[in-house]
Amino acid sequence: MKHTSLHALSALLLVSMVALHAAERVDVIANGGFEQGAPSPLVWKANPESVGAALSRDIAVKHSGEASGRIVTTNTSQRAWPAWEQKVTGVKEGQRYEASVWLRVAQAQPASMAYLSLDYRGADGKRVSHTMSRALYGNGDWMKVSAKVNIPSNTVTMICRLILHGPGMAWFDDASLVRVDGWEPEPRLKAGLVRLHPTGVVCKESFGGFGAEMDPWLWNELHRSKGVTDRDTELIAARVREMRLSLARIFVNKMCFNPSQDHRTFTWDSDGMRSLEHTLRLCQSNQIEAILCPVAFGAKPNHLWDGPAAPGPDEAVQAWSAVVEHLIKRKGFTCIRWWQVCNEPDGGWTQRTGYDFDRFVRIQELMLAEFKARRLPVQIIGSGDSESLQWFIDSVRRTSPWVGAYGGSRYAKDLDVEEVRERNVAYLAAMRAYDPEWSKKKYIVTEFGVRAPATTDKHNAYMRTFDCGLAMASLCLDQVALGVDAASIWCLHRIYYSADNLMDYGLWEFKDENWKPRPLWFSYSLFTRFMTRGSRLSQVEVTAGEDLVKAMLAQGPEGRFLFVLNLSYGDVDLAAETGLPKGQWVRYTYDERVKQAAADRPLFEPGSATAYSGELRDRLPRRSLVVYQLR
């Protein structure tokens, strides 16, 4: 994708899940289920890097049909990326392909990974670029991974590879590589009028609201040294109040309260603790529910239970419960409602700490017992995974007696919003399948966002774009439609994690750019402000929307709100049933005008629309999010 501009790429992939209404789909992979060929599958070949690995057709383990393709590697394998591969010829620049495969991994190390890769080759046979799907790390049962791509320039052939990187055994089945003929990069509705009909079907009786990660370092000495003043923090506080956040996830650095790392001697008046208290005070005064999540950036060992002299679960739990008790009982921060073991434990926590999954489970059991013993009204959010559906499944199976919710990080990889929806479906299904008390538990997306190719924590140009705000709106509507209880974006604004680590995620810039809002701030704030905690969310049927229009109805403390997202590249005439004989609707719009907006423009610039005879008529701007409020 390196030959495609960021703006063009984001626009193309944002509408990837809705631009297929006029397209023909042709699967160019042969023998995707490994059904033909014995003993070796037809068409599939072992790539040249498979020396030392064993590749075979397996009739004992399969996702469907009679067989699968298996790869077995060991610590002595000579190559690190063995793969089944097929070559596709006749590919052309700009063509649309959608690849997927079901995979399973066993007897693997935690860092081993199985995934799908598309390799683009030029006329000289050299790589132009490549695309990777999401990976299954470590061991895991059958999981579908996918990638949606547009062929980059100078490509004449494409190689589809099913890869196991690292020791273990992997099975691949039901592989597909679909060419989407007639795909429209800038789709427009064919119908002249889109109709919206509230169905009365409730997605969530009482939604927990949208929030943001509020990293608690803005008030520390480091940020003072970067020029942050009281006037700056007052500006941040004013924006938080205006957004009406419902939820905040807050990282807690163990070094701010236990610099000796003895797990027993606590310092409550450190620079870090004072900054944390400022953050919690902001939550407390704005009725924002806080999730505390232990981390320790820049500290060695990385977590309270890390290092050669890492404490056992009992010592770790005693230390963390003492911090929570201090903050709630001594400081009065009753906004603290949730606790997590750590951030994204499946991303390397077991490797860093030397702990195994049993200890991860044990910590949650002990922590709940401590909360009860200390009479702290705090619940635990289980799993916390970033990538691994298997980690989530194992967490549901093993920790259900002690957690009040499950959650984790849910990012749209390479801007594939639809893939996040599919993953959330799988996570919610796992809750229902493996927790007998699932109906009493919440599913909280503790961190979410949209990532463009080549995005890093320190370099995130995409998050400054109008398209990012539109993609996040689509992701928000998808999540609530599935019944997600609450969701928190990463993160509120750019902030230093350490002296030389300025994170490039956030709704607005840092002080060096005068806290300039990004377009995403205007888009996401429509959700935080009007789809608040306690809102009743219900489905809206869209007629003639061709998957380019999404809608949701929210009934909250401030009234009735109709959310409508138009992903079409043309204006859309709208007719929405209101059930009211007549009513005046206030309209809030996020559209391409935000690109030219001044930095100091108001967050909400209302317009108006009128409903007559039970029907609201309006015209939606191209590529826009519109929220109608009945007053």
d(CA 132, CA 147): 7
Residue 110: pLDDT band with limits 50, 70, 90: confident
Which among 475, 427, 613, 455 is positioned nearest to 14, based on CA atoms? 475
**Does domain 194-202+537-630 sit in CATH 3.40.1310.30?**
no
Q: For 43-100, how does the pLDDT look when each residue is reduced to its tens digit (9 = 90+)?
A: 999 998 888 899 999 999 999 999 999 999 987 655 578 999 999 999 999 999 999 9
Q: Do residues 490 and 213 touch, judged by C-beta distance below 8 A? A: yes
d(CA 174, CA 22): 25
Of all helices (H) and strands (E), which one includes residue 260? none
DSSP, res 52? T
Lowest-confidence region among 39-43, 300-304, 540-544, 613-617 = 300-304
Calculate mean pLDDT across residues 290-297: 80
pLDDT at 355: 65
Q: For 50-63, how does the pLDDT look when each residue is reduced to its tens digit (9 = 90+)?
A: 888 999 999 999 99
Lowest-confidence region among 132-141, 423-432, 465-474 = 132-141
Q: For 173-208, how does the pLDDT look when each residue is reduced to its tens digit (9 = 90+)?
A: 999 999 999 888 899 998 889 999 999 999 999 999
Calculate mean pLDDT across residues 242-249: 97
Strands 442-450 and 486-489: parallel
Q: pLDDT averaged over the chain?
A: 88
pLDDT at 16: 43
Contacts of 8 (CB under 8 A, 6+ apart): none
User: DSSP secondary structure string, 277-296?
Assistant: HHHHHHHHHTT-EEEEEEE-
Which among 98, 26, 64, 47 is positioned nearest to 174, based on CA atoms? 64
Q: Do residues 507 and 517 touch, judged by C-beta distance below 8 A? A: yes
Residue 558: pLDDT band with limits 50, 70, 90: confident
Contacts of 518 (CB under 8 A, 6+ apart): 463, 464, 468, 469, 506, 507, 508, 509
Q: What percent of the chain has pLDDT over 90?
A: 69
Q: Give the number of other CB atoms < 10 A from CB of residue 382.
A: 27
pLDDT at 37: 93
Residue 449 has pLDDT above 60, yes or no: yes
Residue 403 has pLDDT above 80, yes or no: yes
d(CA 564, CA 573): 12
pTM: 0.89
DSSP, collapsed to helix, strand or coil, labels residue 205 as: coil
Tell me the three-class secondary structure of 484-546, residue by residue. CCEEEECCCCCCEEECCEECCCCCECCHHHCCCECHHHHHHHHHHHHCCCCCEEEEEEEECCC
pLDDT at 14: 41
Write down the domain spans for the chain.
23-181, 194-202+537-630, 208-533
Residue 23: pLDDT band with limits 50, 70, 90: low
Contacts of 49 (CB under 8 A, 6+ apart): 79, 80, 81, 82, 83
Residue 301 has pLDDT above 70, yes or no: no
Lowest-confidence region among 109-118, 597-606, 612-621 = 597-606
Q: For 490-499, how does the pLDDT look when each residue is reduced to its tens digit (9 = 90+)?
A: 999 999 998 9
For residue 557 the two structure tokens come to 């403390």
pLDDT at 357: 84
Residue 313 has pLDDT above 90, yes or no: no
DSSP, res 66? T
pLDDT at 10: 39
Calculate mean pLDDT across residues 601-611: 72
Of all helices (H) and strands (E), which one includes residue 418? helix 417-434
Residue 300: pLDDT band with limits 50, 70, 90: very low
Contacts of 124 (CB under 8 A, 6+ apart): none
Contacts of 11 (CB under 8 A, 6+ apart): 185, 186, 467
Which among 272, 257, 77 is positioned nearest to 168, based on CA atoms? 77
Residue 7 has pLDDT above 70, yes or no: no
Q: Do residues 529 and 243 touch, judged by C-beta distance below 8 A? A: yes
pLDDT at 205: 97
Contacts of 32 (CB under 8 A, 6+ apart): 101, 174, 175, 176, 177
Residue 605 has pLDDT above 60, yes or no: yes
Q: How far are the Cα atoms of 22, 192, 240 from residue 189, in angstroms, in the given order?
A: 10, 8, 37
DSSP, res 615? E
For residue 601 the two structure tokens come to 């423009």
| One CATH from 2.60.120.260, 3.40.50.150, 3.90.1010.10, 3.40.50.300 for 23-181 | 2.60.120.260
Q: For 131-176, how does the pLDDT look when each residue is reduced to its tens digit (9 = 90+)?
A: 999 888 888 899 999 999 999 999 999 999 999 998 999 999 999 9
pLDDT at 575: 93
pLDDT at 79: 54
d(CA 302, CA 168): 28
pLDDT at 8: 40
End-to-end CA distance of the chain, in Å? 47
Q: Give the number of other CB atoms < 10 A from CB of residue 495.
A: 23
Which among 323, 331, 335 is positioned nearest to 295, based on CA atoms? 323
Q: For 579-603, how does the pLDDT look when each residue is reduced to its tens digit (9 = 90+)?
A: 766 777 889 999 998 887 665 666 6
DSSP, collapsed to helix, strand or coil, labels residue 475 as: helix
For residue 298 the two structure tokens come to 């820049």
pLDDT at 365: 96
Exposure of 456 by Cβ count < 10 A (0-12 exposed, 13-18 middle, 19+ buried)?
A: exposed
pLDDT at 353: 61
- 208-533 falls under which CATH superfamily? Glycosidases (3.20.20.80)
Identity of residue 163: I
d(CA 576, CA 590): 19
Q: For 321-375, how does the pLDDT look when each residue is reduced to its tens digit (9 = 90+)?
A: 999 999 999 999 999 999 999 888 886 666 566 667 888 899 999 999 999 999 9
Identity of residue 586: V
Tell me the three-class secondary structure of 360-375, residue by residue. HHHHHHHHHHHHHHCC
CA angle centred on 503, ends 502 and 508, rounded to 5°:
105
Which among 521, 592, 19 is positioned nearest to 243, based on CA atoms? 521
Domains 23-181 and 194-202+537-630 share a fold: no
For residue 68 the two structure tokens come to 């699968």
Calculate mean pLDDT across residues 106-130: 91
Residue 283 has pLDDT above 90, yes or no: yes
Residue 258 has pLDDT above 90, yes or no: no
Which among 597, 596, 616 is positioned nearest to 608, based on CA atoms? 616
Q: For 508-549, how does the pLDDT look when each residue is reduced to its tens digit (9 = 90+)?
A: 999 999 999 999 999 999 999 999 999 999 999 999 888 899
Q: Do residues 426 and 462 touch, judged by C-beta distance below 8 A? A: no
Q: What percent of the chain has pLDDT over 70?
A: 89
CA angle centred on 431, ends 425 and 435, rounded to 5°:
165
DSSP, collapsed to helix, strand or coil, labels residue 21 as: coil
d(CA 488, CA 213): 6
Tell me the three-class secondary structure of 557-610, residue by residue. CCEEEEEEEECCCCCEEEEEECCCCEEEEEEEEECHHHHHCCCCCCCCCCEEEE
257-283 residues labelled b (16+ CB within 10 A) or e (exposed): bbeebebeebeeebebbebbbbbbbbb
